[in-house]
Amino acid sequence: MAQYRRVSGSVGLITLQNPPVNALSASVRQGIVDSVKRALGDQKVKSVVICGQNGVFCGGADIREFGRQMSGPPLVPMIHDIEAANKPVVAAIEGSALGGGLELALGCHYRISHSKAKLGLPEVTLGLLPAAGGTQRLPRLIGVPAALNLITTGRHVTAAEALQLGILDHVTEHNTVDVAVKFALSVTGESLDGRRISSFSCAPLSDLDSLFEEAMLKVRGAARGAIAPVACVQAVRAAATLPYAQGMEREKELMATLFHSGQARALQYFFFAQRAVGRWSTPSGARWDTSQPRPVRKAAVIGLGTMGRGITVALAQAGLSVVAVETHAKQLMEAKKAVPSMLKRGAVRGGTTIEPDSITYSETVQAVADVDLVIEAVFEDMALKEKVFQQLSIVCKPDTLLCTNTSSLDVDHLASQTRHPELVVGMHFFAPAHVMKLLEVVYGRRSSPAAVATAMQLGKKMGKVSVAVGNCRGFAGNRMLKRYLEQAFFLLEEGATPELVDRALEEFGFPMGVFRMSDLSGLDVGWRVRKADGLADTSLTGTSARVRQGCRYSPLGDLLCEHGRFGQKTGRGWYQYDKPGGRVAKSDPWLHNFLDEYRARHGLVPRCIDQQEVLERCLFVLINEGFQILEEGIAAGPEDIDAIYVFGYGWPRHRGGPMFYADMVGLERVVERLERYHQAHPNVPYLQPSGLLRRLVANGSPPIHKWRNVIKNRNSQL
Ligand SMILES: CCCCCC/C=C/CC(=O)SCCNC(=O)CCNC(=O)[C@H](O)C(C)(C)COP(=O)(O)OP(=O)(O)OC[C@H]1O[C@@H](n2cnc3c(N)ncnc32)[C@H](O)[C@@H]1OP(=O)(O)O
């Protein structure tokens, strides 16, 4: 709703009231319409101020209303009537003016903002465009290039930048509503002719066609198949080339195609999913709202390889004082050079400064005696990690939280090496650790609720999306990835090429297909893990070469490594590169020959494989593992898995995440295809639909937001 009152004798003050962000729900829109009518009809009122309660102007349209039957007054005529008013209307912006909130402000005659406010049109991130006149008013106000940038990226700008761009008329450090009321009094009676943005023309540009061509190329390149950025460019083009009324028609048309699209549904689901992962819970009953995080002021990182350096930077950027430990003198020396320059680059990007003395370096573990939390990031070797945890348990304060950055090893086993296993959790970062948004927080059997809460909160402080997951081989992300990789190898055995598989996945929206990705991260990484697991044994011949533990196995990756092909670093992998460290993947005749010979050796007759099979085999098996993970309680809900895949593995956000994608495709279809592939490949057990997936189908395939009920019912019967 909106509250209306008269202040300072002649100013009608309209306050939007819909906590927490004063989103423009039906009742808020009705409140605005009623209040504006009242203010304009009251002779004592000479000017109007619109603000939001609790220090937030408006977070935009109420996203929760989108999937439902829309009711209440529509935004476009509401904003039109404000702009057409014959009394000055001033927007008093505090906190955020986003989406429909900024569009409302653009309909006002003046905009005054607090210096700490953020403004933007983030609709594109929800699969939409600013359809309440935003695409037509903003270019008229600030020019086409700047408006294109804001509308196609959805980025939030500070009040200072908004003032510079011309979005704001004034920025204040004081009480914004008081300043706006005084300002409203001062402009009473002045002409509003030059204040209605819809009456402006866009500033002329010499070569409009090439500007829009370039913009289109840029968004298509970055969008990976997302349709909203393209529609945003088309709508801004309408602003630049058509009169306002026709531009508004075009905006409406384009919005109509986006509003009910699967991409908009996916992106809006993902908006809430990201926030849902913060409300974590574990099967033992620990929860985000009942667990108290411990304060962490000083942290340590053990091991300054690539991951350790990134983690050190992330901690320092979060304002912690960090002890960085590396026992190898050469590695320590290199880290001492690399970390400050990573910090410097980060500071340039983020416009911040980090005190270089917030990091101290040491060659001995003894240096961590007084820290609140340690993150171990040594080489992925259990014996080495065991030793580090034994040492830490002796050296650290008894209440120091001990975390491991392992990507797959057993957190419970590491906890058992310490005196306080309840203080041990996994903090699985993704490379580069100071850049990637994802953090898997892995709780062990004995991890205390406070330990989980502390790691989750520290992740948030570092700007990460922290997802709590249980302890199992590979946790959630890598466990699912293993199934995806296996299928990709099997497809090569059956006749596919790396190029075909990668093209299918890239057209789906992944930034890189599985083989290009493996070349980038290094084929030796997986080889080492498979060797440690006793899988990589290329001395086996005949049928046993392609079977391990009774299941189908492909030694293709192991064979490539034996040929010294580790990917980009060696200049050869699934593709060839112009030199070791080269980045541009080129098709490699050697590899195709190698695949032909391999198939012939094993009596495999290559067949034609289409993109649909690639997607179904690779993605459905990954999704199936996701259901298994949900069933086992390793992840608490589908949102956790989706956040992991979007933030850590390049799953295209406009497809919502693997679990949302399964919901979109239809669970029956996923089961049907998995069963078919399992029949064709009976020695691949992971193609068999998981129990939870089958149960959901048996329960009528409820929508994704109801899956937790099915999981809960199952667990309560155990
Ligand atoms: C057919 C024609 C139809 C025309 C329709 C007109 C279209 C208009 C387009 C829009 O306006 S779309 C909405 C655009 N706005 C946004 O994208 C802003 C989204 N919100 C944010 O970015 C942030 O929430 C914030 C405003 C910057 C605040 O951030 P903060 O970190 O302080 O809090 P959060 O944890 O993010 O949010 C708190 C709480 O509020 C919920 N929420 C936030 N914004 C909205 C919203 N616009 N609608 C509904 N709910 C919103 C958020 O989900 C959190 O609740 P939860 O329970 O924890 O999920």
Q: What is the ipTM of this complex?
A: 0.98
**Cross-strand pairs, 429:** 439
CA distances from 206 to 209, 212, 218 (A): 9, 12, 20
Average pLDDT of span 142-154 = 98
Distance, in Å, from the CA atom of 525 to the CA atom of 531, rounded to the nearest integer, reads: 10
The residue with greater pLDDT, 629 or 381, is 629
What ligand 1 atom has the least distance to the C-alpha of 121?
A: 14
Backbone angles phi, psi at 107, to 5 degrees: -80, -20
> Is 55 among the domain residues?
yes
CA-closest candidate to residue 455, choices 401, 408, 380: 401
| Closest residue to atom 48 of ligand 1, CA basis | 62
> Is 626 among the domain residues?
no
| Residues annotated as part of the active site | 103, 123
Same domain as 172, residue 53: yes
Assess whether pLDDT exceeds 80 at residue 713. no
Same domain as 24, residue 140: yes
Percentage, residues of the chain above pLDDT 70: 98
Distance 211 CA to ligand 1 centre (A): 31
Task: Please give the full DSSP string across 478-536, using - where no structure is assigned.
Answer: HHHHHHHHHHHHHHHHHT--HHHHHHHHHHHT-SS-HHHHHHHH-HHHHHHHHHHTT--
Predicted confidence band of residue 718 (pLDDT cuts 50, 70, 90) = very low
What ligand 1 atom has the least distance to the C-alpha of 272?
A: 59
Neighbours of 234 (CB within 10 A): 17
Any ligand 1 atom below 6 A from CB of 98: yes
Neighbours of 397 (CB within 10 A): 11
CATH number at residue 427: 3.40.50.720
Distance 98 CA to ligand 1 centre (A): 8
Same domain as 333, residue 235: no
Domain boundary among 560, 583, 602: 602
Any ligand 1 atom below 6 A from CB of 154: no
Any ligand 1 atom below 6 A from CB of 127: no
| Residue 494 and residue 609 in contact, taking contact as beta carbons nearer than 8 Å | yes
Distance 258 CA to ligand 1 centre (A): 18
Distance, in Å, from the CA atom of 230 to the CA atom of 232, rounded to the nearest integer, reads: 5
**Cross-strand pairs, 402:** 374, 424
CATH number at residue 503: 1.10.1040.10
Q: Give the 3-state secondary structure of 588-651.
A: CHHHHHHHHHHHHHCCCCCCCCCHHHHHHHHHHHHHHHHHHHHHCCCCCCHHHHHHHHHHHCCC
Tally of structural domains, the chain: 3
Domain boundary among 230, 260, 290: 260
pLDDT, tens digit, 9 for 90 and up, residues 7-62: 999 999 999 999 999 999 999 999 999 999 999 999 999 999 999 999 999 999 99
Distance 62 CA to ligand 1 centre (A): 7
What ligand 1 atom has the least distance to the C-alpha of 56?
A: 26
> Is 363 among the domain residues?
yes
Helices (H), ranges, 327-446:
329-350, 382-395, 411-415
pLDDT, tens digit, 9 for 90 and up, residues 603-635: 999 999 999 999 999 999 999 999 999 999 999
Name the DSSP letter for residue 438: E
- State the average pLDDT for the chain: 96
Distance, in Å, from the CA atom of 613 to the CA atom of 586, rounded to the nearest integer, reads: 24
Q: Which residue of 16, 18, 21, 32 sits with most ligand 1 atoms within 8 Å of its CB, as the best mutation to test the pocket?
A: 21
Distance 28 CA to ligand 1 centre (A): 14
CATH number at residue 40: 3.90.226.10
Same domain as 245, residue 313: no
Any ligand 1 atom below 6 A from CB of 295: no
Q: Which residue of 63, 123, 136, 158 sits with most ligand 1 atoms within 8 Å of its CB, as the best mutation to test the pocket?
A: 63
CA-closest candidate to residue 21, choices 73, 51, 45, 56: 56
Any ligand 1 atom below 6 A from CB of 132: yes
pTM, rounded to two decimals: 0.95
Same domain as 510, residue 457: no
Any ligand 1 atom below 6 A from CB of 272: yes
pLDDT, tens digit, 9 for 90 and up, residues 428-479: 999 999 999 999 999 999 999 999 999 999 999 999 999 999 999 999 999 9
Any ligand 1 atom below 6 A from CB of 638: no
Dihedral sign from CA coordinates of 543, 544, 548, 550: positive
| Closest residue to atom 17 of ligand 1, CA basis | 122
Predicted confidence band of residue 717 (pLDDT cuts 50, 70, 90) = very low
Same domain as 590, residue 456: no
Any ligand 1 atom below 6 A from CB of 100: yes
Any ligand 1 atom below 6 A from CB of 251: no
Assess whether pLDDT exceeds 70 at residue 692. yes
| Closest residue to atom 56 of ligand 1, CA basis | 275
Same domain as 252, residue 304: no
> Is 486 among the domain residues?
no
Q: Cis ω on the peptide bond leading into residue 432 (within 30° of 0)?
A: yes
On the 0-12 / 13-18 / 19+ scale of CB atoms within 10 A, 703 is exposed
Range from 95-104, 135-144, 480-489, 538-547 carrying the lowest mean pLDDT: 538-547
Same domain as 505, residue 444: no
pLDDT, tens digit, 9 for 90 and up, residues 234-287: 999 999 999 999 999 999 999 999 999 999 999 999 999 999 999 999 999 999
> What pLDDT, on a 0 to 100 scale, did the predictor assign at position 148?
98
- Region of residue 68 (phi > 0: left; psi between -120 and 50: alpha; otherwise: beta): beta
Same domain as 516, residue 444: no
Distance 694 CA to ligand 1 centre (A): 34
Any ligand 1 atom below 6 A from CB of 712: no
> Is 394 among the domain residues?
yes
Same domain as 306, residue 205: no
Same domain as 211, residue 76: yes
Name the DSSP letter for residue 548: E
What ligand 1 atom has the least distance to the C-alpha of 256?
A: 1
| Closest residue to atom 19 of ligand 1, CA basis | 59
> What pLDDT, on a 0 to 100 scale, did the predictor assign at position 356?
66
Backbone angles phi, psi at 526, to 5 degrees: -65, -35
On the 0-12 / 13-18 / 19+ scale of CB atoms within 10 A, 352 is exposed
- In which domain, by residue range, is 173 found? 2-260
Distance 59 CA to ligand 1 centre (A): 5
Domain boundary among 577, 602, 627: 602
Distance, in Å, from the CA atom of 707 to the CA atom of 4, rounded to the nearest integer, reads: 42
Predicted confidence band of residue 534 (pLDDT cuts 50, 70, 90) = confident
Any ligand 1 atom below 6 A from CB of 123: yes
> Is 711 among the domain residues?
no
| Residue 17 and residue 3 in contact, taking contact as beta carbons nearer than 8 Å | yes
Distance 21 CA to ligand 1 centre (A): 7
Any ligand 1 atom below 6 A from CB of 20: yes
> What pLDDT, on a 0 to 100 scale, did the predictor assign at position 525?
86
Distance, in Å, from the CA atom of 264 to the CA atom of 244, rounded to the nearest integer, reads: 26
> Is 592 among the domain residues?
yes
> Is 24 among the domain residues?
yes
Same domain as 59, residue 131: yes
Amino acid identity at 698: A
